[in-house]
Amino acid sequence: MDQNASLVPLLTAEKREIRSLLVANRGEVAIRIIRAAAELGIRTVAIFSEDDTASLHLRAADEARPLRGVGVAAYLDGEQLVAIAKEADCDAIHPGYGFLSESAEFARRCAEAGIVFVGPRAEILELFGDKGQARALAQRCGVPVLPGTWGPTSLEQAREFLAALGEGGAVMVKAVAGGGGRGMRAVLRADDLAEAYARCQSEARQAFGNSDVYVEQLLPRARHIEVQIIGDGSGEVAHLGERECSIQRRHQKLVEIAPSPALSPVLRARLTEAALRLAKAVRYDNIGTFEFLVDAEARDDEATYAFIEANPRLQVEHTVTEEVTGIDLVQLQLKLASGYTLAELQLRQAEVPPPRGFALQVRINMETVEADGTVRPSGGTLTAFTIPSGPGVRVDTFGYVGYRTSPRFDSLLAKLIGHTTATDFSAVVRKTYRALCEFTIAGVSTNKPFLQRLLQHPEFMAGHLYTRFVEDHLAELVAPQEVAWQPSPARATALPHAGAKVDALDPLAVLTYGKAEESSPAVTAAGPLPLPLTSEIVAPPGTR
């Protein structure tokens, strides 16, 4: 059965049909949401800041409306978003991930305006937005957590906790609010605590508007496993399996895999049961993930694990779960937000399909990795951008030839996902590696070479993963070396144009064929593209 077919049942009188959706995000996730909504027959309205007029998500939507302001701040203006939604006659807002996706205040503001917030209800966002409260919930539910302080912690309290761990003890300083690896520092020596504490406070204040931090005992060699949860608010919850997110750089995920290639059935059952217990306790609604650390050095069936946090939103890595289950998670969000139950959607636990094979996602970021591990952001104009294709290959991106990147936004350029039904994990690694080699990007430096070396590392291919994998193998991952397969120089040179002339005014247009040397000079133009022609552009509220 096509699982997504169950996501479009006939609406009943009790349901609140979403007819028009404001997509309160940008870039690849905005395009992802717009596509899912379009397939459900939902009208979409995109938004864009003053410095984001060339972003591809504007062309994907039925209508595009400008925001006052530039950069991230414009997308964080909740009052402006609600005003645009009301003026555009939208009955729902999807926040994507990042920006306002975990803001309880914004969810409440939407409710006050009579607009559906596509995500968990405000109380859930508030609970899991405070890691202290989340840890307390886990303890009440009998789910293990790492030893740590509770709530906002002073530097002196942090020192006392570290000292109590004894010789060889180590801690992780973590922001109370937010996530995504921001406001986190590992401290292995007491002398380093003060500096790490100050840095975490600064990062947390900048990223989340809240400088509070706490500390917990550091698990030196751990794997990061997250469980995808769905719920309808009635207490009925289900899981869609787990994802392995252990390959990280400075607590930022680089690679995600579904299912984990190294979990035993016993440990998998323990983790998913713990996630369900937590979700059921709060009558979880919509989708989210419950995240755990697993001791990577213990025997699998005896491994200790601990709950660390919940992310009550769509995740960047939701794609790998979609590939192995066949379930469109964004469409599922929209249906749950409309009032459907898991029973009506045929997604109670017994009805959830088991994973088919493996899926692997790599994040292609606009950055370079230096020999010492230093990451330097990059930017420029994309002069070539040819995405790979073939069975089991998916690319989520907003890039196109002629696009000029902005340093004001996240460095993520594309997500490349490989999927295979093979039960051998190395098969999906080889498929993703082949696709990565085919991905032609010029004009902007990316971490593609780093990812290629990572996918070729024998320990990675064997599934021996843990959170410090990158640090421990850094010299091998940044050293110049030949990759096993990539397009020949002649083919790679031909790929960007392929004998086509690109219409610089419409990166989505059908290519006009001609000689390669006649390609539009605007491909490398420095100026931003004009506003989209296929979407209706409307002035922001109060500017007419």
Could you list the active site residues? 313
Angle at 326 between CA 181 and CA 335, to 5 degrees: 80
Considering only CA atoms, give the Rg of the chain.
23
Give yes or no for a contact between 362 and 415, defined as CB atoms under 8 angstroms apart.
Answer: yes
Give yes or no for a contact between 243 and 257, defined as CB atoms under 8 angstroms apart.
Answer: yes
Give yes or no for a contact between 349 and 419, defined as CB atoms under 8 angstroms apart.
Answer: no
Q: Which residue in 420, 366, 364 sits closest to 396, CA to CA?
A: 364
Alpha helices in 155-285 (DSSP H): 155-164, 193-208, 265-281
Token readout for 39 is 């397939």
**Secondary structure, 3-state, 379-438:** CCECCEEECCCCCCEEEEECCCCCCECCCCCCCEEEEEEEEECCCCHHHHHHHHHHHHHH
Residue 304, amino acid: T
Per the document, the length of the chain is 544
Give yes or no for a contact between 66 and 48, defined as CB atoms under 8 angstroms apart.
Answer: yes
Name residues whose C-beta falls within 8 Å of residue 464's C-beta, 6 or more positions apart in sequence.
Answer: 262
Phi, psi of 284 (to 5 degrees): -60, 140
Name residues whose C-beta falls within 8 Å of residue 329's C-beta, 6 or more positions apart in sequence.
Answer: 228, 240, 287, 314, 318, 321, 322
Give yes or no for a contact between 134 and 310, defined as CB atoms under 8 angstroms apart.
Answer: yes
**Secondary structure, 3-state, 467-493:** CCHHHHCHHHHHCCCCCCCCCCHHHHH
C-alpha distances out from residue 329 to 2, 32, 209, 347, 413, Å: 14, 10, 29, 12, 21
